[in-house]
Structure 1
Amino acid sequence: MTKFDEQYRDLVFRAIVDGERVVDRTGVGTRKLFGETMRFNLQEEFPAPTLKKLFFESAKKEMFWIYQDQSNDVRLLREKYGVKVWDEWEQKDGTIGHAYGYIIEKHKQIDKLIQGLKENPHGRRHIISLWDIEELPYMSLQPCAFQTIWSVNRGKLNCQLVQRSGDLGLGVPFNTAQYAILVHMVAQCAGLEVGELLHTITDAHVYDNHVEPLKEMLFRPIMRDVKPQLHITNRTQNFYDFLPNDIRLLGYDSHPQIKLEVAV
């Protein structure tokens, strides 16, 4: 099984069996764990689940919308990329408010990150934060995966993704994949190799209505021969020159999709 499956299956199992039962913001109810971290060596394989299908294209395109388009416009996400993951949070003006891409653009964060990694690779202040306190009241959903901390070691770019709230059924595999892609792109732009991705989740939870479908996933047979690899065909070092079709997931296979309802 993939390194992602090993860690993800353990997280889901422990949340279902040992997680604290709480009533959450959505009213659906969750079983939650505190302070969990998954760790991946991106040179070995791309972190993708085989126990259930990863919608790689949607994850990739939403990441482009946030970090390259630096947009909060849900209509752009739908019309340019055909992705509808933000439809439930779309406001009357067609946006998600002052969230995600809006904050990246406001503070020029991706540009500052790449420049900083080039000029001072061993600096300890390479951080992107989407948690802009002044803007929080103007967001339709405050960011879950809200911070990345970047560090260079022996010429390899490492990244810690910090997620305050992680929906293990739907959001977490999606977010891990997105930020693994981002590490590959930023590393190429900064002239570095990829290193490790740490995915830290403060509140890692399974929604009550996801428990039975995820139990099915836990007992699926392991796909032992799958070892996904990310391939970038465009060797540009300009972050804004990448196109979604330049980034491909090779050697990936999985069991079928598990249908889960989004808690809004």
Structure 2
Amino acid sequence: MKQYLDLCTHILENGTVKQDRTGTGTKSVFGYQMRYNLQEGFPLMTTKKTAFRLIATELLWFLKGNTNIRTLIEDRNPIWDEWGFERWVKSDEYVGPDMTDFGRRSLEDEDFAAIYKVEMENYKKQIIEDDQFAERYGDLGPIYGKQWRSWTTGNEVIDQIDALIKGIKTNPDSRRHIVTAWNPSEVKDMALPPCHAMFQFYVADGKLSCQLYQRSADVFLGVPFNIASYALLVHLIAEECGLKVGEFVHTLGDAHIYLNHMEQVKEQLSRTPRELPTLRINLQDKSIFDLTIADIELEGYDPHPKIKAPIAV
């Protein structure tokens, strides 16, 4: 994962301090690219433990076109919990304790962390048990899954992933193997406008490669997940299309380290990368749309310990 560690060093040495919508502040660079040869191993971070099960279940959630976190909560996947919870605590119906800036406060204030944990557990319990509550406060709006599988324009609904697979199979040399999650007409309705905004696939010598354009990149918390998620997507689409994997090319717009992640990044940079794991997919007669986490296996993952950091919501 030298490419990723080089990015961290580049931002620390050359980044500009900027303000952001969360009020946390970042050190940022604009325009950066990393390349991962997927033949050399699966690019899951080894300088800190990264939860592959969460990455895989989130990607399968996207591929099924889902936008409600009830499914993720049932899968014990908390990746999107804060975004749904934020919608709840900012609503007129919420009458509990003040949850302003809950991500940072829960790490810095033990008393608040205990209150926040109770409120979050109550929120998730209601999502699971109350259909109407889940419909109002579990849905994150027209985020990735909706755009990937049900892009709406006028009276037409476009399944971009299905069209992508058909295009790769029937016209592999096309330069139009593109999926976009950035829908200007629906951005305002999304809990979080897409950070990984558009990706393009490329077939050469029987190998499938993918380039992602990511407009906004939280380098410490988000980017390790994004790298692994899109590497997994390449493997899945390649399996579906009868191809081998090639490269994952990761192009970043605003690549930033939050100012309250600086010490965590420096700790990670002090660690020596380890051998990359291997990915196994048991597709059999299934479509990738029907896969479960049980069909995806990671072998030989031996990372350094996890490093905690607050999420900026």
Q: Same fold (TM over 0.5)?
A: yes
Backbone CA RMSD of aligned residues = 1.2
- Given residue 307 of structure 2, which amino acid in structure 1 is its aligned partner? I
Deviation at 1:223, TM superposition (A): 4.3
Query: How many residue pairs are counted as aligned between the two chains?
Result: 256
The sequence identity of aligned pairs, in percent, is 45
Q: Are residue 14 (structure 1) and residue 65 (structure 2) matched?
A: no
Alignment of 1:19-38 (within 5 A): 19-38=15-34
Write the distance in 2 (CA, Å) between the matches of 1:160 and 1:14.
21
8 Å CA contact retained: 2:47, 2:268: yes
**2:311 alignment partner in structure 1:** 262
Q: Are residue 243 (structure 1) and residue 238 (structure 2) matched?
A: no
8 Å CA contact retained: 2:60, 2:291: no
Cα offsets for 1:73-92 (capped at 9, x unmatched):
0112111x211111121145
Alignment of 1:64-75 (within 5 A): 64-67=60-63, 69-75=64-70
Alignment of 1:39-54 (within 5 A): 39-54=35-50
8 Å CA contact retained: 2:29, 2:256: yes
Deviation at 1:234, TM superposition (A): 2.7
Deviation at 1:163, TM superposition (A): 0.4
Write the distance in 1 (CA, Å) between the matches of 2:231 and 2:249.
10
- Given residue 66 of structure 1, which amino acid in structure 2 is its aligned partner? F
The structure with more helix, counted as a fraction of residues: 2
Q: TM-score when scaled to structure 1?
A: 0.94
**1:101 alignment partner in structure 2:** 145
Cα offsets for 1:214-239 (capped at 9, x unmatched):
1111112x244x23111112334622
Gaps of 5+ in 2: 89-135, 151-157
Cα offsets for 1:15-68 (capped at 9, x unmatched):
12221000111110000111111101111111111111111110111011111x
Write the distance in 2 (CA, Å) between the matches of 1:241 and 1:83.
18
**1:140 alignment partner in structure 2:** 191
Write the distance in 2 (CA, Å) between the matches of 1:172 and 1:223.
16
8 Å CA contact retained: 2:199, 2:212: yes
Q: 1:227 to 1:76 in 2, by over 3 A?
A: closer
- Given residue 255 of structure 2, which amino acid in structure 1 is its aligned partner? A
Write the distance in 2 (CA, Å) between the matches of 1:31 and 1:140.
24
Q: Are residue 214 (structure 1) and residue 258 (structure 2) matched?
A: no
Which structure has the greater CA radius of gyration?
2
**1:179 alignment partner in structure 2:** 230
2:255 is paired with a residue whose SS is: strand
8 Å CA contact retained: 2:140, 2:190: yes
Q: TM-score when scaled to structure 2?
A: 0.79
Q: Are residue 232 (structure 1) and residue 281 (structure 2) matched?
A: yes
- Given residue 76 of structure 2, which amino acid in structure 1 is its aligned partner? G
- Given residue 47 of structure 1, which amino acid in structure 2 is its aligned partner? P
Deviation at 1:201, TM superposition (A): 0.7
**2:239 alignment partner in structure 1:** 188
Gaps of 5+ in 1: none
